[in-house]
Amino acid sequence: MFVLASASKARQKLLDQIALRHKVIVSDFDETQLQEPDPILKVKLLAKAKADSALKKLIEENHALNTYQALLGCDSLFEFKGEIFEKPIDKEQLISRWQRMSGQSGFLHTGHCLISLDNSKSDRESISQNNSCDGVVSTRIEFMNLSNFEINKYASTSEPYNCAGGFAIEGNGGLFIKKIDGCFSNVIGLSLPWLKNNLEKFGLSRLLLDR
Amino acid sequence: MFVLASASKARQKLLDQIALRHKVIVSDFDETQLQEPDPILKVKLLAKAKADSALKKLIEENHALNTYQALLGCDSLFEFKGEIFEKPIDKEQLISRWQRMSGQSGFLHTGHCLISLDNSKSDRESISQNNSCDGVVSTRIEFMNLSNFEINKYASTSEPYNCAGGFAIEGNGGLFIKKIDGCFSNVIGLSLPWLKNNLEKFGLSRLLLDR
C-alpha cells in the first residue's frame, strides 16, 4: 500500500487514475512556518516537510510499517512574474490576480518527496534519510484573455479558492487555459511521470496499475 | 441546449467539466468512406461530415430546432512521424505502435465543426453554410520510455483500444506521457478554449458554465 501525505482530492483522483491503491495520511505541518521567497525551493521544502510529518504520524500511530511500501508528500504553487500565488485568500485577491493573469503566462511548480518504506526499519530518521528522493516539476501555463464578467463568474464559484494560483485545469478552469508546456498531471497536483520514474528507482513499479 | 455529435464519453465529460448542458446525437457518417492522407485535412473533413450528419438527423427527427442553440462535431487522430494513427485495430497493432512511440513524440490533432442553430431556419443547407465555423487544434505529445512489460500490461486493458493513437491521457495512459505542448483538453477529445472562442463569435457564451 502507498501513503499519500495530502488531503487534496485532485491528487487522490490522480492516484486512482493510475490504479495506485493508497491511504491518505494528512500531515500536521503548519505551512505558514516556512518563509521562503524562492518558489522552487519553497515547494521542495514543503513537500519534504509534509512527507516527514506524515511519516512521523505513521510511526507514532503504530501502523504496521511493513504494510506500506512508500509515502509521497507534495506541494504546489503558481509563479506569476516572479510572485508566488498560493491558494487565494479571498474573492478580492482572486479577482485582482485573474485580471493580471488574463492573456499572460506563468509556471505551476509541484514539489514531490517520495520515501520508500520497503524495509524493516521503524526509525524515522534512518528511513527518511536513506530512502527518499525529491524533485520539483514545473509546467508553463498560458491563459486565455478573460473579460471581467468571466472572471467574476468564476470567482463566484467555490472551485478556484482551493487551488494554487486560483484555477483548476481539470474543472471549469480548463476553459481559461489556452495551452500548457510540460507535464499535465503536475498542474493538477502531482506529476505522474515523476512518480513512475522514482517508484522504479526504488523497485516499486509493481504498485502502479495494480488491479 | 447544445448538441454534441459524438458518442465519445471523454468528450461528454469535457462538456460536463465546463457545465455545458448537452444532448448527444451520434452521426451516421461512415468514416471509412473518407480516404485522405493529410492528417489535418482529414480531421477537419471528418468533423464537418459528423456535424452535418447529426444536423440532418436533428432535422429529420423533427426535433424542435429552436430548443437547440449549437451543434459540435469533432474528430481526433494521432500523427506519428507522418503516419496517421487512429484507434488501434487489435492488440498486435497497439503493441507494435507503442514500441515505436516509446521515448518519441507526435501530434494529437482534433478537428472541430461548430454550427450555430440560434435562428429560425430549418433548412439544413442554409444552416450549415451560413452559421458554421471549423478549426483544427494540434497538441504535441512526448512519451516516456516504456519497457515491453509496461506496453504489454497496458495492451491487456481495454482503455487504449477506444482512443486515437492508443492512449488516454486522462486514464492509465497519463503515466506514459512525459509532457505536452499545446491545448490539454484537445488531447482528451475537444479543445475547450477553441469552443469558448467560437461560441463567443456566435454570441453563445451564455451556454458555458451554465448552472
Q: Which residues lie closer than 8 Å to B57 by C-beta, 6 or more apart?
A: B25, B27, B28
Q: Which residues of A are catalytic?
A: 75
Is the pLDDT at A2 greater than 60? The verdict is yes
Q: With contact defined as beta carbons under 8 Å apart, do A155 and A161 qualify?
A: no
Give the pLDDT band (50/70/90) at residue B34: very high
Vertex A85 angle, CA A83 and A91, to 5°: 125
The pLDDT mean for chain A works out to 93
Give backbone dihedrals phi and psi of B130, rounded to 5 degrees, phi first.
-95, -20
Give the pLDDT band (50/70/90) at residue B67: confident
Q: Which residues of B are catalytic?
A: 75
Q: Domains of chain B, with CATH numbers?
A: 2-207 (3.90.950.10)
Cβ separation of B175 and A208 shorter than 8 Å?
yes
Query: Could you give the CA distance from residue A93 to residue A96 in angstroms, rounded to a whole number?
Result: 5
Q: How far is A34 from chain B (nearest CA, A)?
A: 30
Cβ separation of B144 and A193 shorter than 8 Å?
yes
pLDDT of residue A163: 96
Q: Which residues lie closer than 8 Å to A146 by C-beta, 6 or more apart?
A: A98, A102, A103, A154, A176
Q: Give residue-wise pLDDT tens across range A31-43.
A: 888 999 999 999 9
ipTM of the complex as predicted: 0.93
pLDDT of residue B127: 67
Q: Give residue-wise pLDDT tens across range A100-130.
A: 999 999 999 999 999 999 665 656 666 666 6
Give the pLDDT band (50/70/90) at residue A59: confident
**Dihedral angle of Cα B155, B159, B161, B166, to the nearest 10 degrees:** -80
Lowest mean pLDDT among A28-37, B39-48, B140-149: A28-37
For B2-67, the DSSP string reads EEEE---HHHHHHHHHTT--EEE------GGG-----HHHHHHHHHHHHHHHHHHHHHHTT--GGG
Tell me which amino acid residue B177 is.
Answer: I
Q: What is the DSSP letter of A159?
A: G
Q: How many angstroms from the chain centroid is the CA of residue A142?
A: 20
Q: With contact defined as beta carbons under 8 Å apart, do B6 and B26 qualify?
A: yes
Cβ separation of B178 and A172 shorter than 8 Å?
no
pLDDT of residue A125: 63
For residues B108-116, give the mean pLDDT.
97
Q: Which residues lie closer than 8 Å to A50 by C-beta, 6 or more apart?
A: A5, A6, A27, A29, A73, A74, A75, A113
Q: Give residue-wise pLDDT tens across range A164-177.
A: 999 999 999 999 99
Query: Could you give the CA distance from residue B122 to residue A210 in angstroms, rounded to a whole number?
Result: 53
The pLDDT mean for chain B works out to 93
Is the pLDDT at B64 greater than 70? The verdict is no
Q: Which single residue is written with the C-alpha cell 483538453?
A: B185
Give backbone dihedrals phi and psi of B131, rounded to 5 degrees, phi first.
-130, 40
B71 vs A67, which has greater pLDDT?
Answer: B71
- Three-state DSSP class for A190? coil
pLDDT of residue A33: 87
Please, which residues 110-139 of chain B have a Cβ atom closer than 8 Å to chain A?
A: 139
Q: Which residues lie closer than 8 Å to B180 by C-beta, 6 or more apart?
A: A180, A181, A182, A184, B139, B140, B141, B142, B169, B187
Chosen from B2, B145, B178 to mutate, greatest number of chain A CBs within 10 A: B178
Q: Give residue-wise pLDDT tens across range B75-103.
A: 999 999 999 999 999 999 999 999 999 99
Is the minimum CB–CB distance between B21 and chain A shorter than 8 Å? no
pLDDT of residue A61: 81
Q: Is A156 left (phi over 0), alpha (psi -120 to 50) or beta?
A: alpha
Q: Which residues lie closer than 8 Å to A9 by C-beta, 6 or more apart?
A: none
Cβ separation of A175 and B192 shorter than 8 Å?
yes
Q: Give residue-wise pLDDT tens across range B178-210.
A: 999 999 999 999 999 999 999 999 999 999 998
Q: Which single residue is written with the C-alpha cell 469535457?
A: B14
pLDDT of residue B120: 54
Give the pLDDT band (50/70/90) at residue B143: very high
Chain B residues closer than 8 Å to A177 by CB: 184, 193
Give the pLDDT band (50/70/90) at residue B32: confident
Cβ separation of B178 and A183 shorter than 8 Å?
yes
Q: Which cell is B169 given?
A: 491521457
Give the pLDDT band (50/70/90) at residue A60: confident
